[in-house]
Each structure stands twice: as C-alpha cells, then as structure tokens.
Homo-oligomer: A and B are copies of this chain.
Amino acid sequence: MTSALKKRSKKAGLSPGTLIHIGNTYTEKSKITVIRYDENLFEKKEVSYADDLRGEKDKPGKVWINIDGLQDVALLENVGNLFGLHPLILEDILNTNQRPKIEDLTEYLYIVLRNFHHHETDTLYSEQVSIVLGKNFILSFQEKEGALFEPVRERLRSNKGKIRKAGSDYLVHALIDNVVDNYFILLEDMEERIEKLENDLVKQTSPAKLQSIHVLKRELIFLRKSLWPLRETISSLQRSDSPLIDEPNALYFKDIFDHIIAIIDTVDTFRDMLSGMLDVYLSSTSMKLNEVMKVLTIIATIFMPLTFLAGVYGMNFKYMPELEWPWGYFGVWVVMLTIALGMLKFFRRKQWF
C-alpha cells in the first residue's frame, strides 16, 4: 500500500488517461505470450514488440495474449491501441492499486482481480491481474512473471474438458477460477499459522505473540477488503447481459461466486478465532497478575506480623518481663507458628492456593 500511495500522489494534477506505471517493477522487460487456439488448434509463441501482435485480433480462432510486467508504458499503449482499449482502461491497467471491478465497454469487458501471495519475507502482498475479454481475444496483464496461469495453459495444451471448444468467455472463467483457487492455498497457509499461534499461546504468552495476532488480523482485513468487491464483480459477470458472455456459462460464474462466499466465510471465521485468542490472551495476562499478587500477599501477610514480633523482643527496654522467662523464646516460636498456620488456613479457605 505504501509505495502505491507514494507514487499515486505524484500523479496529482495530471490529466486523466495520462499513462504512468504505478506499482512495483519486477522484471526488466515485459514478456508477451500469445496462444492461439481452437477446437483443433493450439499455437503458443512469445513475441517482443507490440507490432508483432498486429492482425492477431482478426485471425480465425481465439487468441489469448498474456503480458507479464507493466513497466514498459509505451509497449502497453501500443497494445492498447491495437485492440482499441480506452485510455482510462489503459490507465487502470497501469495503476496497480485498483479494487476488483468489472467494466462493460460494449466492445469488450475489463475485469480487475487481485492475486495474493506471501512475498519473500512474510508480508502479504497483492498483485493486480487485469483481464480484457473481447469478441475473439483475451488479454491478461500481470505485474510480474509467474506460474499463475500455467494450469490454464496446460489445460489448453492437453485439450482437457471443454476449454478449447468453448468461447473466450469460458477461458476468462478459467483464469478467474485459477486466481480464486489461489485464495484457498493462501487460507490454508493462514490456518496453519493461526493453529500454531493458538498452540503457542497455551504454553506461554508474550508481546511478540500479541504482535503476531495483530499482523494476522491486519492481513485478514487486507484480504477481506479485496474479497467484497471481487464478490460484486463475479456477481455482475454472472448476471451480465453482455453478448460476450454466453448465457449457459453463467452457471460456471455462479460456481466461482459460491467459492468466494466460502472464502469470505473462512476469513470471517479466522477473524473470530483471532478475536477469541486476543480475549483469552488479555484475560490470561490479568489472571497472571492476580496469581503474582496472591503470592506476594501471602508471603507479606505471613511474615510481616512475625517480623514485627521478632522486632518487639529485639527491643532494648530495661524492664521487659518476657525476656527473663525461661520458656519465653520457645513460647514466641509457638505464637509465631500459630500465626503462620492460621494465615495459611485463612488463605486456603479463600481458595488462594
């Protein structure tokens, strides 16, 4: 979020549609992968320049063009022009802090998704995935090169299921499904961390663990903030009356919708679990204070009267009859033990130990 805000504020005052890449740069060069497919066709190639894509839009069959890396603004502008994208859409592709959304520009649909993963160290990171669905073409844009869409490519290559037979909207469904499936993997990872934390807390509480709970909570809030607009987006797709979406495919988008609901449910459950852990943590802290204070009070209450008594018979008054008694010393011990045992009994009855 940090870097995005910083770069974003630099854009203040420029006219809308001015293309500036806002986000992190991961690769030196954008990578363009073109897959042309049909029921009987599968062609994959990598190209370097936007010009190599000229004409792809009008060839027979369907074409899926995936671009990894968004730092080459000129390249993306050219691609945008080739496929007739509106400047504001290109701006959204480049500003990688969009919320999930769908925009219907009649000629094509523009869909923004966010893909979450744990970046190098342990901080949760979200990458923007933009998808453009046209009549016979699909464009997908990722911030960095990765294996995210590999399973879809594999399904296309091996011609499993109806993916090659169905229209380009079905491919878009497959891409979104892939991103949503990634959430399940993320949640599984979080679940492990929560369970580990829960087990640790039973053993010992420490400020570091409190911090961990808050980090997890913040990650969940971060995640959730993306899930609600995603839910809306998929719901729009499902109920879309765009001719680009085949009526019968709505059922597939409903399937994704159900998955997202399940994910939101799980995120909420996790949040409730963390809140419960926090409560247990805090009340166990105050319980420990009670325990500590009881120890102190028991010790003080027993030894203060005894020390006083010893002090009394340590006084140097001339006339102190008890000091002369032969059984005086022994008697004092008896009194002291009686006091100590009486106190212990009192505390035992109060169930302090």
Chain A residues near B (Cβ < 8 Å): 1-2, 5-6, 8-9, 11-18, 86, 88, 91-92, 97-99, 101, 103, 151-152, 154-155, 160-163, 173-174, 177-178, 181-182, 184-185, 187-188, 191, 195, 204, 207, 210-211, 214, 217-218, 221-222, 225, 251-252, 254-255, 258, 261-262, 265-266, 268-269, 272-273, 276, 278-290, 292-297, 299-301, 303-308, 310-320, 322-326, 328-329, 332, 351-352
Given contacts A258-B99, A315-B332, A332-B315, contact A299 B304 (CB under 8 A): yes
Number of copies: 5
Most central of A195, A281, A311, A322 by chain B CB within 10 Å: A311
Q: Which chain B residues lie closer than 8 Å to A293 at the CB level?
A: 289, 292-293, 296-297
Q: How far is the CB of A293 from chain B (nearest CB, A)?
A: 5
17 more contacts with CB within 8 A, not counting A9-B187, A282-B283, are A9-B181, A88-B252, A88-B255, A207-B284, A214-B279, A282-B286, A286-B286, A288-B290, A292-B297, A296-B296, A296-B301, A300-B304, A307-B307, A307-B308, A310-B311, A310-B312, A318-B323
Given contacts A9-B188, A251-B88, A315-B313, contact A278 B279 (CB under 8 A): yes
Q: Which chain B residues lie closer than 8 Å to A292 at the CB level?
A: 290, 293-294, 297, 352
Q: Are B289 and A296 in contact (CB under 8 A)?
A: no
Q: Which residue of B lies closest to A189 (CB)?
A: B9
Q: Are A317 and B328 in contact (CB under 8 A)?
A: yes
Q: Which chain B residues lie closer than 8 Å to A301 at the CB level?
A: 295-296, 299
Q: Which chain B residues lie closer than 8 Å to A204 at the CB level?
A: 351
Given contacts A86-B251, A252-B88, contact A99 B262 (CB under 8 A): yes
Q: Which chain B residues lie closer than 8 Å to A316 at the CB level?
A: 313-316, 320, 323
Q: Which chain B residues lie closer than 8 Å to A306 at the CB level?
A: 308, 311
Q: Which of B160, B187, B281 contacts A15 (CB 8 A)?
A: B160
The 8 closest A-B pairs by CB, nearest first: A310-B311, A13-B151, A12-B181, A15-B161, A313-B315, A303-B304, A296-B297, A317-B329
Q: Which chain B residues lie closer than 8 Å to A304 at the CB level?
A: 299-300, 303-304, 307
Q: Are A290 and B289 in contact (CB under 8 A)?
A: yes
Q: How far is the CB of A169 from chain B (nearest CB, A)?
A: 13
Q: Which residue of B lies closest to A101 (CB)?
A: B258
Q: How far is the CB of A348 from chain B (nearest CB, A)?
A: 14
Q: Are A283 and B280 in contact (CB under 8 A)?
A: no
Q: Are A329 and B315 in contact (CB under 8 A)?
A: yes
Q: Are A285 and B282 in contact (CB under 8 A)?
A: no
Most central of A97, A254, A306 by chain B CB within 10 Å: A306
Q: How far is the CB of A338 from chain B (nearest CB, A)?
A: 15
Q: How far is the CB of A282 from chain B (nearest CB, A)?
A: 6
Q: Are A225 and B269 in contact (CB under 8 A)?
A: yes
Q: How far is the CB of A140 from chain B (nearest CB, A)?
A: 16
A sample of 20 inter-chain contacts (CB < 8 A) reads A2-B195, A5-B187, A8-B184, A12-B181, A12-B185, A13-B178, A15-B163, A16-B161, A16-B173, A97-B262, A99-B265, A103-B254, A207-B283, A210-B283, A225-B265, A292-B352, A300-B300, A315-B316, A316-B323, A318-B323
Most central of A163, A315, A352 by chain B CB within 10 Å: A315
Q: Which of B6, B184, B305 contacts A188 (CB 8 A)?
A: B6
